Amino acid sequence: MKRFLVLVLLLLSPLHAADAPWQVGLATVRITPTQPVLMYGYANRTEPHQGVAGDLYAKALALQDPEGNRAVIVTCDLGGVHGDMIDRIATRLGRSHQLPRHAVLYNASHTHAGPWAWVAKEETKGIAKPAVAATREYVVQLEKMLEQVAVDALSKMSPANLSWGLGMAPFVMNRRQFTDKGIILGFNPKGPVDRSVLVLRADDPQGRLRMVLMGVACHCTCTGGKNFQINGDYAGYAQAALQAKYPGVQAMFMAGCGGDANPWPRGEIAQAEQHGATLAAEVARVLAEKLTPIRPPLRTALQNVALPLAPPAPRAELEKMTKSSSSWERYIGGRHLALLARGLQPPTSFPMPVALWQFGTDFTLVGLSGEPVNDYVHLIENAIGPTRLWVAGYCNDVFGYVPTARILAEGGYESRGIDRGDAVGIFTPQAEKEIVAAVKNLAQQTGRAIR
Ligand SMILES: [Zn+2]
């Protein structure tokens, strides 16, 4: 009888393995700065941070399918991640864990109440040296922590099921306010936004929740430029609220195509807490529903898209720009003149990483980099089909806004282009086509059924 039982168990075990086809590894590291660092996102903040209202974390989700394909997502409570740092980390992970570059994805929540995650020389002008030095020291530590959290997750994989669903975030507001004096950063309830909330969950084979990844397409700018208290903004408060509600569960946040969306209302830490609570409640509501299972295999892909930059204006025009009423025009004019003075021409394109992860036939995660505006969700839906899809932004490199042809034609803050080293300039309307073509190519390459 005993032998029979063992035989039955042996026969059943492959079925159990099929019940939980994924291997999942989780890890968290606190990345709150301990030194006085400069804060991301508002040029007026030339003084270091003055306290911590909420800790910041980086959290890793390592995945393995039954074929042995492995990949890791790391979500970071940071304003941005720099492509050079992420490439260095991915190279080391490739060496230590045989992970291809396309199987590594870092996402920044875009909190404007966090530290600089790199030090751009152009931005250090007029800032006291000790603050810059402390920030540099933090960035070195950050790189180690962002790598280690991925290593930790990859080292403790166990069987799991994945499933996903969608909710809705009511506080996501289009911020491009049309006025008689042009487009300002404000409040536009008639403007388009992506209010969807991605909910991706991992359960152990017994059905117990282990991890929830939520995605929202909205700036983490509740507290604005007068705030000097470190916090994760609504994304950080939502993660904390979910982890309090589900003890032992890892809650992660991934930013979507919210380049032109701000939370509403905003201005105070209390509003970051309020929107965080709203988001956590919505994610909990979705978690209580029956979500759609995600089956293997996992196919990951990454392509660097050369985003075309408009050629610089003629010298006389640049001189005129340096006297413009627009501070950005003054800045671009000055930067282009400085390049010309060094005998250099600004580059004609900028390499934008575009990632696509295909989970069986059940789910596609598109990971755009930079700060894409919400139009990209619809453009990508039109190109590869609207179902079984979530489109993230702020992945692998946060270099500035990624406008569409519409935004470029209208103007406003999100049309301002790029400022990264010697790559300074405005993207052309063709940029949108290059991005969508790359996503379509990656979708075909990874086997997404394009409907
Ligand atoms: Zn932004």
Q: Mention every residue, 6+ apart, whose C-beta is less than 8 A from residue 104.
A: 71, 72, 86, 89, 90, 93, 94, 150
- Quote the ligand 1 centre to 220 CA distance (angstroms): 8
According to the model, what pLDDT value does residue 4 have? 53
Reading the block at residue 63, the tokens are 């995945």
Q: In Å, what is the CA distance from 240 to each residue of 51, 152, 262?
A: 18, 21, 21
> What is the reported pLDDT for 17?
47
Rounded to an integer, what distance in angstroms lies between the CA atom of residue 372 and that of residue 435? 10
- Report pLDDT for 312: 86
pLDDT value of position 13: 46
Query: What is the rounded CA–CA span in Å between residue 307 and residue 305?
Result: 6
Distance 425 CA to ligand 1 centre (A): 17
pLDDT, residue 129, reads: 94
328 Cβ contact list (under 8 Å, min separation 6): 416
- Residue 138 buriedness (CB in 10 A; 0-12 / 13-18 / 19+): buried
Residue 172 one-letter amino acid: V
Q: What is the C-alpha to C-alpha distance for residues 358 and 364, in angstroms, rounded to an integer? A: 5
CA of 248 to the centre of ligand 1 (A): 32
Tokens of 159: 């069987």
Rounded to the nearest angstrom, the distance between the alpha carbon of 127 and the centre of ligand 1 is: 22
DSSP 115: B
Q: Residue 308 Cα, ligand 1 centroid: separation in angstroms?
A: 21
The 10 Å CB-count burial string (b at 16+, else e) for 359-377 is: bbeebbbbbbbbbbbbbbb
Is the pTM for the entire model greater than 0.75? yes
Domain map (residue ranges) of the chain: 21-304+350-445, 312-345
Task: Say what the pLDDT of residue 191 is.
Answer: 97
pLDDT of residue 8: 47
pLDDT in tens, 362-395: 999 999 999 999 999 999 999 999 999 999 999 9
Contact indicator for 335, 318 with CB cutoff of 8 Å: no
Q: Residue with structure tokens 């799991």?
A: 160
Chain-centroid distance, C-alpha 410: 25
The Cα–Cα gap between 327 and 172 comes to: 27
Distance from the alpha carbon of residue 7 to the mean position of ligand 1, in angstroms: 59
What spacing in Å lies between the alpha carbon of 218 and ligand 1's midpoint?
9
Residues in the chain where the model's pLDDT stays below 50: 1, 6-17
Compute the distance from residue 14 Cα to the ligand 1 centre, in Å.
48
The alpha carbon of 261 and the centre of ligand 1 are apart by a number of angstroms equal to 9
| pLDDT score recorded for residue 2 | 52
Find the 392 Cα to ligand 1 centroid distance in Å: 14
How far does the centroid of ligand 1 lie from the alpha carbon of residue 110, in Å?
7
Q: What contacts 279, CB < 8 A, 6 or more positions away?
A: 169, 171, 197, 214, 216, 234, 235, 238
The four Cα atoms 114, 115, 121, 126 give a dihedral, to 10 degrees, of: 90
What distance in angstroms lies between residue 29's CA and the mean position of ligand 1's atoms? 24
